[in-house]
Every structure is written in C-alpha cells, then in structure tokens.
Structure 1
Amino acid sequence: MNLNSIVIILLSSFTFTQIRVIVAADNNVIDRLKADVAYLSGPELAGRNVPGPYGDKTAHWVAGRFAEIGLTPAVGDSAFMQKVPLITGLLDTAETMIRYRSSQPQGKNITCLSSWGLENGQGFYIFPKRLAPMDTSCKALYCGHGIVSGDLERNDFRDVDGCAAVVSSGIGELTPREAGRFMFTPFKAAAADQAGAAMLVEVYPPLGKDMALPPRIQRKSGEVNLPLVDLPETAAGFPTVHLFTDMKAQDISGIDLKVVFKDMNQTRGFNVIAGLEGEIPEYIIVGAHYDHLGAVEGDEQNAYYHGADDNASGVAGLLEICRRWHERNRTGRGLIAVAFTAEEDGMLGSRWFVDHLPVPREAVTAMVNLDEIGRRGFANMRDVQKDIEPDPKYAGAYYSAASPKLRDILRSAVHRVDLNVELEPVNNFSHFGDAGPFHEAHIPTVQLFSGFHKDYHSPSDTIDKLDFEKMSSMVDLTSALLEVLTQAENAIEFNPGIRVEKPHIPH
C-alpha cells in the first residue's frame, strides 16, 4: 500500500495541519541499519565506554555521519560536539563507614561501627551512583519490609520524613505477587526517597560461614574497584545501605553514615548535536545514547559488551531519522538530533544537555528518546525468564503523564505502523534512561522501546539477535510521531499536578 500521500483527520482537543506520512525504501533502510549497528557494536569500538578512547571514537563517528547526511551543527561550530565535563573516582572502602545505634526499652544502648565490607559475617555495603562525599547523621525509623501497595492498603514509609528508613530484607509474609516490584531493593529505595527519607537501610541477618551474598550485592561488590563517573559538583544521591548485623532492624534508632572517595580526576565526554531547521523557531528533540559498558573485566572469551540493542539500535535509528528529515520539505517545527554520552553512568550527557540547551528553553516543544529499539522483547522484565515467546510486534511508548495530549499525538502515529504499540503514561522516567532529565525539566517526553530481553547489559547483546524488520518499523513509528509533533498547531502543556494513580513500571 502506498502511504506517501495519506491525509489524516484527527478529532481531539487540538488540531493538526495536513500530514504526509514518510516511508523509505525498506531494503535500503534495513541495509543501512545493519551497517550502522555492525560498526557500533563491533570490535573497533569495543563497547563504546565513556570516558575513554572508544567513547571518543564513537562520538566522532556519529559526528561524521551527521556531516555525511548534510546536517547542520547545533552548537555553534563545525564539529557537532558539545563538551561534557566529567569527573572519575573510586569509593574509598577503607574510610567509608557506618555507625548505627539502638535504644531498647530495657535501657540497654548499643552502638556498632562498621567499615565497608563484611567481617565475621557482619558489616555493610553501599554502592553510590554519585561522586559526592557524604557525612550525615539522622534518626532511624523502622519501616517493616518497605512495601507500598494500594491494593493492600499498606504504606510502610509513613512518617519517615527526614529519617533513615530501616527495613527488613525480603517481603515478610507476602507472596511475590502481592509484593510485586517491592521484592527488589531499588523500588523500596525509590519509595523511601519519595516519602522524604534521608536514606534506606536494608537489614540482613549476619552471613554464616557457607552463606553467599545476595547475587546483586555480590555482583556490585565485585565492581567496587571500577571508577565511578559523574558530572562535577553533583549533589549526593539517595543512599541505599545493605547492613548485615545481628541487631534487629526494629531496634535501630539512629544512623551515622560517612562516604568517602579517592583518586579523583577530571575528564570529559561529548554529546553530538545536529539541527534541522523548520519553518518556525521551535524544536522537537530526538535523541539516543551512544555509550555502553566497554570491556568485560576478566573474561577473555567475551572481550567487550557489544551493546547491539543497548543502544547501537537507537543510534542507528536516530541516523535514519536524520536522513529522512534532511531530505523532506520541513514545515512546522524543526528537529534537534542528539547522540548522548555517559547514559550508562547516570544520564550524565542528557543531564548536561538539558542544562545547556542550544536553543532557548521555551523553544523546546517535546523530546523523543530512542533506547533499545531493535529486539523482539517483553513489556516487563518478569516475563523475560518465563518459557514463552514475546509478541514479535510489541513496542512500548511511555510518555509524560503530566502531558496528556501526548496520548492523542501517539494514537495518531501508532496506527500508521505494523506494530502493537502499548501507550503507557508515567509519573517519572527513573527507569528509562535519557528520557528522565527532560521529564524532570517539565519537557513533554516520549520514550520508544522494543521490549525487555535476557541479554540486557550482557556481552550476549549481539547484532545477530536483532530483528531489523521490526527495527525498521520502530524507525517508521518515530518518523510518524515526529511528523505529528512538528505539525501540531497547539502547544503541549506539562502540568506536574496531573499524575496516574497506578503508573506502569516495567520490572
């Protein structure tokens, strides 16, 4: 079917001008996508780690592609590069300490001091995401197992404001279905943070001689000698402490936490930015991060993380969008295309970009982020380990709940592609990479995603597992969405007071 001249009439609270669907030759598109992903996920870029030579090489390659397409630099020079200052450092495990105390009804007070790691089965672990020292003292409040559930009418984090939220590990008497995402520490921490807690302290019993650390803690403890990367002068993040002690969690009345870093160095990365002007000085930002995880420590067989889906697919899709947009008659708003650095280290490139936009903030209408658009995947992580096959045409479109007009915009785009697109409003993008900083800046935001799979952040995320027919359809979806966004006559409002009661959280 020839879609080149379809005219769509939308009945909604806002109107659009006439829309022409863009369709590229499928074979050419797939060949280009394959070639770009093959290079990005191949040995010449060895995992695209940032900061470092392979990350720099990737940035310059993307800039070269922008130039070949004929794009215009959006940062005032001929190199497309926006320098992002970064710092690196190591957690000083010898100086990082916790002091916790009890105040029991019998009047027996106990104070324990532990350094990082375990000694005789007791001690603590903390894995900071931010390179910001911390020296804090606060009261502690016992918060059960850290469960929040409207269905169970339960909120373990009531009245925790300003206190250390101390929780027992596990889910207690609940079933996994009842506990849902609160089986996992990061979701407990997010709920404690939202409730105003100073930190989350998850208490485990001491480890016996033949007992192993929980897998996630064991994995993270093995990475403690890998440098952390951050933006300069970043505020400390929300601390999550894993405490192994014979003291009962409910007896802990106070926490003193000291986090120290060493071997600090200054470095930099690069966002790669191009502009495609429209008829009016307003812009839609479309982006994808180009960095990945670099080399595989101690594994000669798997020398590096390929990152074919995460996120060579997104960068290849971004380049294809740029090719299409450069060739079309651009009416309405323009585009700003961005390949972000240091997403894997905490969205550092996109955070810097949001604070250093190449155009006035009021000229930015919306943002579309492409992250992992190349696989047959599931809508949530729970299904990944099941013995089932994913819907080969599943796609997720997560959007700012604070901008309900985005749902109408997405609806007008999704019926034009051969995908089963689920539209999901979210209150925040804390699990969606570079979409997060834009949403936090009250910019209406959409994240496009092809689904979860078992090769996430694994050396096995390789090009042979990508579905390029589906990936081409994801590019078509992005094109259709950008077409509607650039042509929308009315502004897209962002009202932080609009929230969904039960947002979809993929876990």
Structure 2
Amino acid sequence: MRTHNKRAGLLKGTAALALMGVLAAAVALPALAADKVTKDVAPVTAQALSEHIRILASDEFQGRKPGTAGEDKAIAYIQDQFKKIGLKPAVDGSYLQNVPLTEIVSKADGPMVITGPKAAPLSLEYFSDMIVWTRQRTPHVQVKDNDMVFVGYGITAPEFGWDDYAGVDVRGKTVVILVNDPGYATGDPALFGGGAMTWYGRWVYKFEEAARHGATAAIIVHETRAAGYPWGVVANGGSIPKLSLMPADGGLKTRSAVEGWMQLDQAKAVFQAAGLDFNTLKDSAARRGFKAVPLPLKMSVGITPTERDVISHNVIGTIPGAKHPDEMVLVGAHWDHLGIGPAINGDTIYHGAMDNASGVAGLIELAKRYTKGPKPDRTLLFIAYTAEEQGLLGSEYYAQHPLFAPNKTVAGFNMDMLSSVGLTRDIVLVGGRKSDLEDRLKAWTDAHMMALNQEPFPERGYYYRSDHFNLAKIGIPVIYAHSGIDSVANGAEWGKTKEDEFTRLHYHQPSDKWSPDLDLSGGAMEVNMIYDLSRPLAFGTDWPKWYDKAEFKAARDKSMGK
C-alpha cells in the first residue's frame, strides 16, 4: 500500500527536463567512488516495467493468490526472469524459500445477532453490515449470547502509560474496538504518535492484543478516515479465503475465535441498544484514564470454516559480494495479490497491476541494472515476498528465517505500488524520522531539485502496512519512499485527484488492471532512485543507523551486541 503527498512544485521548465535526466544518471553520494558511478549501464525504463506488469496482471495469472495456480505462474515467471538476468539462486541452489501457510475459508452462517434488555434485537448482515472470520484451526465456531465489552482503542502500551484492558476481564467475551489510536483521535503530540498512527493503531495489533487478553471475539468499528480505506476494502478483504502462519496450537489459544469489523452506523446502533452514546464513549476512549465499559448486550454469530495447508514461496535471487559476501543489502517487493473474489462489474479476477505487479517489475529491472554493471562489494538480495495481502506473511516468515542474520543485513528497501501517473516534483517518505536512510534520501532529492515530503496521512499507518515493517521489527534499517502527487505535467491538484480516484475506484478491486495508458515514468524514477540509494551501500562499508528515538533501534543494538 502506498500514499502520496500534496506539495506545490519547485521544478519547472528546463528543470523538468533535468528531472527526466535523473533516469540516466546516478547520484555520486560520498560513500561511492566516482569511477564506479560512471561505469554504469542504462537506467530502468517505463517500457520495461510495463511489459512485466502486463504479464503479471493478466487474466492468466488469476490475481496471483498464494496457494493457487496463479502463484505457480507468478513464481515461475519471477524465477525465469531472475535466471535470465543472471541472479544466483539464494536458497540452497533454489530461488524458492518455502513458506508454510494455512488457508481458512470462513463465512458467517447467518447474521450477527445482538440482544439486550433495552432494545429489540439487532441483526447485522454479513458483508453489508459486518464482516467476520476465524483464523483458528477448528471445524466450527459458535459464539452464543457472548458478553460484550467496549475497550476503547484496545491498546496495552506501557511505554505510553496506556492500558485499555486495565481493570477489566475480557476472557471469553466479545470486545468492541476503535480503529487507529488516541494520538490520531486527538491530534495531541503527547499521545502516541500524535497525528501519525503507531503500530498500536493497526488492526493486526488490535486482534493480537485482544487474543492476549483472552477475548473470544474482537470486532473493530470501521471508520474510513481513521482506517485509511473504505468499507469495500474491508468487506472484500474479509470475505475472501485467509492465509496465515499457523501457530503450533492451531490458534486455539493464541487467537480469538472470531475476528472482524462492523460498519460505523451499525456500531452506533449497537451502543444505542445498550443505552449509551457511541460518540461520547469514543471521545472518552481517547483520554488518559479511560476505563473499559461493559455493554449490557449479548452477541451471537456462527462461522463454519474449511481449511487447507499451503506451501507458498518467497522468490529470492542474489548477486554475491566480491569483497564482503557475508554482508547484505536487501531489496524487496511482494508478488501476491487477492486472487479471485466477489464480482465487481462482472469481473472476479483481482489483477493487482499496481498492487503489486508494479513492484515486482521494479525488482526485476533493478536487479537487471545491477547485473549489467560491476560486481558489488557486498551481497545484494532481491526478494519477491508472498502473502503481503494476507498480513505481511512472506516477509514475516523471512524475518523469522533470514538467509542473512540481522546483524549482517546492512539495510533494506521496499517497492510497493510504483507510480502510474508520470513524473512528479516530489518524493514522499513513508514513516519518516526513523533512520539516517532518510538523510541519504534527502541528499538525493536535493541533488535532483525535488521536494522530500513526509507522508500526508500519517494517521493511516502506511509504514506498518508493507513488508519492510517486518525487517524493521528485527532491527534492520529500512526505507519506503515513492513518487508524490505534484505532477510535472499536470500539477498537484491533478495528482491528488488521480490518487483519490485510484483509492476509491481501483484499490483492491478487479479494476486495478494493466493498461498501455499507464504512465510509468514516475515508477521508473522510483526504481532508479532506489538504485542510487542502495548502490553506495552495496559498494561501500557504511552501516545506516536508526535515529535514537526510533522504536526499532533497540532491536538493532541487541543484534549488534550493543
């Protein structure tokens, strides 16, 4: 997932031509000897990216869902490309790292029914009003007349002095949770990340925390702005088969039996049925000292799941280092999308052209550019991850089973949804103020007369929604940056309109398709930017560092023996 920023442009006239020239020249950052810059090959082009996207997003690839025929075609294509450009297999003579997953197909047996003494029963219909699933290995889930508790934002964060579960026992109960975190809700810089979402605001965390406290069911209230995506994204994603890295206990002790979301209007009706005002309780949940509120309601829902075990695959190629082969620079992009799902406008194939056939195209072409030049001093690892759309599972598995230890991994770069709206005057950094990779990026944008902007919607938590996050969790400095919206040709307002249009009409929908009209010149610039940023590390001895206040610095220090 990506986001763009709105920023008035600084680049006009002949400067715009200079921007296009960045696609043909590398930045001579201090750590890279000038002779190695000048002995470079042609940069990545929009035409090359487009051809990969056309193939990977075609009907033949069936939406590239892990564990399907679409996966077989996708990983075969990526392996073939890696072999053709000269990457070495990275996994014991193979390009494939096996990732064991369990696929669970679950749908509610009927509506979610909520009863209480003060109002008539509420019946929430599957898909339109609520979406639920189970990630437990079990033949059937039946929650009957389950006590309900409103736990605010569902956060236990000692470092912030915050515990929404303090003083309440939710074992065996249904918890109702707000999306995002109190910092976003209040804009108070003293709370969490202020307006920027922290890990505590992500739905993955909220389900995990509810399970840690023993909740039988965890239901998040959907709000489009706070979540960062509309209900259609939640409903479509929640209704398709789900893959997970299944824990040894089958999730029976480590996961809630029911996970899901409900629409905001339905949540308000639920609170009204309890004799409470949703907005009043929402406001109180964002203030220190909030205490969970038992609801005088009972929730019932049934789910009949079917399951199968799946071996999916990360596809990994490498260019071994000439001087320091035990030290590695990593570049990744996820190859998967949603596969076949509910029909929208008659189409059931979720093609995932931009999300993320574009990133895989960039990965292949970046690797090709490296293979045409001098051999790097350090090893380069190119990873096409599986199951990002299922919860960053491929990168999570790699982080648990890395080919290079974290203290031998110099840095990481991520490509997720390259730009398809042409060249821009700005670059957006997702999850800023984390490592000195940001300083290197700033040097690059300054050299190319471009603006470097922080993400415009930090409350959406994009940093925690793509594969680089799992590398950061084990301490590896990583960066995710992409084109902004200030179009060289059409301006910022046009770019913002295009971004909003894609999110509303195409994101996680079948209409995310390849078209010859895609303007991938901005995407090519992104790939060449990553080349410029990664190359000094691949040919140097420098080690990027987390900033002192970054939440991942402790993991890096530990892996480095500090």
SS at match of 1:295: strand
1:248 aligns with 2:281: no
Letter paired with 1:395 = I
Question: Shift in Å at residue 274 of structure 1?
Answer: 0.5
Is the Cα contact below 8 Å between 1:376 and 1:393 reproduced in 2? no
What is the rounded CA distance, in whole Å, between the counterparts of 1:496 and 1:129 in structure 2? Answer: 39
Unaligned runs of 5+ in 1: 11-15, 102-109, 149-154, 205-214, 378-390, 501-507
* C-alpha spacing 1:48/1:394, structure 2 compared with 1 (3 Å): farther
SS at match of 2:536: helix
Question: Which has the higher mean CA deviation after the structures are superposed, 295-304 or 268-277?
Answer: 295-304
1:39 aligns with 2:91: no
**In angstroms, what is the RMSD of aligned CA positions?**
4.9
Letter paired with 1:437 = N
Is the Cα contact below 8 Å between 1:56 and 1:270 reproduced in 2? no
Is the Cα contact below 8 Å between 2:336 and 2:389 reproduced in 1? yes
Is the Cα contact below 8 Å between 2:28 and 2:37 reproduced in 1? no
Name the structure 1 match of 2:471: 438
Is the Cα contact below 8 Å between 1:83 and 1:269 reproduced in 2? yes
Letter paired with 1:374 = S
* C-alpha spacing 1:91/1:17, structure 2 compared with 1 (3 Å): same
Residues 320-340 of structure 1 show CA distances to partners (whole Å, capped at 9, x for unaligned) of: 111111122234322100111
* C-alpha spacing 1:111/1:352, structure 2 compared with 1 (3 Å): farther
Question: Shift in Å at residue 306 of structure 1?
Answer: 2.6
Is the Cα contact below 8 Å between 2:240 and 2:341 reproduced in 1? no
Name the structure 1 match of 2:84: 68
1:475 aligns with 2:506: no
Query: Which one of the candidate residues 17, 40, 51 is aligned to 2:67?
Result: 51
1:305 aligns with 2:350: yes
Letter paired with 1:422 = N
TM alignment of 1:307-326, pairs within 5 A: 307-326=352-371
Residues 433-478 of structure 1 show CA distances to partners (whole Å, capped at 9, x for unaligned) of: 2122112222111113345433222223233353222122111101
1:288 aligns with 2:333: yes
1:227 aligns with 2:235: no
Letter paired with 1:434 = D
1:392 aligns with 2:397: no
Question: Shift in Å at residue 216 of structure 1?
Answer: 5.6
Name the structure 1 match of 2:492: none
Name the structure 1 match of 2:414: 369
Is the Cα contact below 8 Å between 1:369 and 1:435 reproduced in 2? yes
Question: Which has the higher mean CA deviation after the structures are superposed, 42-51 or 157-166?
Answer: 157-166
1:118 aligns with 2:138: no
Name the structure 2 match of 1:268: 311
What is the rounded CA distance, in whole Å, between the counterparts of 2:511 and 2:438 in structure 1? Answer: 35
What is the rounded CA distance, in whole Å, between the counterparts of 1:259 and 1:497 in structure 2? Answer: 45
- What number of residue pairs does the alignment pair up? 445
Residues 269-327 of structure 1 show CA distances to partners (whole Å, capped at 9, x for unaligned) of: 11110011122121111011111122353357434223221111111111111111112
What is the rounded CA distance, in whole Å, between the counterparts of 1:301 and 1:370 in structure 2? Answer: 30
Is the Cα contact below 8 Å between 1:114 and 1:124 reproduced in 2? no
What is the rounded CA distance, in whole Å, between the counterparts of 1:436 and 1:257 in structure 2? Answer: 35
* C-alpha spacing 1:411/1:138, structure 2 compared with 1 (3 Å): farther
Question: Shift in Å at residue 52 of structure 1?
Answer: 0.3
* C-alpha spacing 1:288/1:167, structure 2 compared with 1 (3 Å): closer
Query: Which one of the candidate residues 437, 461, 474 is aligned to 1:406?
Result: 437
SS at match of 1:292: coil
Is the Cα contact below 8 Å between 2:147 and 2:299 reproduced in 1? yes
What is the rounded CA distance, in whole Å, between the counterparts of 1:282 and 1:339 in structure 2? Answer: 20
Name the structure 2 match of 1:212: none
Bigger relative CO (Cα 8 Å, ≥ 6 apart): 2
Residues 129-178 of structure 1 show CA distances to partners (whole Å, capped at 9, x for unaligned) of: 845679999984564xx699xxxxxx99765446666568999xx99999
Letter paired with 2:439 = D
What is the rounded CA distance, in whole Å, between the counterparts of 1:217 and 1:156 in structure 2? Answer: 32
What is the rounded CA distance, in whole Å, between the counterparts of 1:21 and 1:406 in structure 2? Answer: 19
What is the rounded CA distance, in whole Å, between the counterparts of 1:294 and 1:431 in structure 2? Answer: 23
Is the Cα contact below 8 Å between 2:86 and 2:371 reproduced in 1? yes
Name the structure 2 match of 1:84: 99
* C-alpha spacing 1:255/1:444, structure 2 compared with 1 (3 Å): farther
Name the structure 2 match of 1:210: none
What is the rounded CA distance, in whole Å, between the counterparts of 1:58 and 1:170 in structure 2? Answer: 34
**Larger proportion of helix:** 2
Residues 79-118 of structure 1 show CA distances to partners (whole Å, capped at 9, x for unaligned) of: 41111111111336349989898xxxxxxxx699999x63
Question: Which has the higher mean CA deviation after the structures are superposed, 245-254 or 418-427?
Answer: 418-427
Letter paired with 2:544 = I
What is the rounded CA distance, in whole Å, between the counterparts of 1:415 and 1:129 in structure 2? Answer: 49
Question: Which has the higher mean CA deviation after the structures are superposed, 332-341 or 445-454?
Answer: 445-454
* C-alpha spacing 1:306/1:6, structure 2 compared with 1 (3 Å): closer
Letter paired with 1:228 = K
* C-alpha spacing 1:459/1:194, structure 2 compared with 1 (3 Å): closer
Residues 381-415 of structure 1 show CA distances to partners (whole Å, capped at 9, x for unaligned) of: xxxxxxxxxx834432335744x322222223334
* C-alpha spacing 1:265/1:333, structure 2 compared with 1 (3 Å): same
Unaligned runs of 5+ in 2: 1-17, 189-193, 223-228, 277-292, 485-498, 553-562
Is the Cα contact below 8 Å between 1:275 and 1:335 reproduced in 2? yes
What is the rounded CA distance, in whole Å, between the counterparts of 2:395 and 2:129 in structure 1? Answer: 32
Letter paired with 1:282 = E
Is the Cα contact below 8 Å between 1:289 and 1:341 reproduced in 2? yes
What is the rounded CA distance, in whole Å, between the counterparts of 1:203 and 1:82 in structure 2? Answer: 37
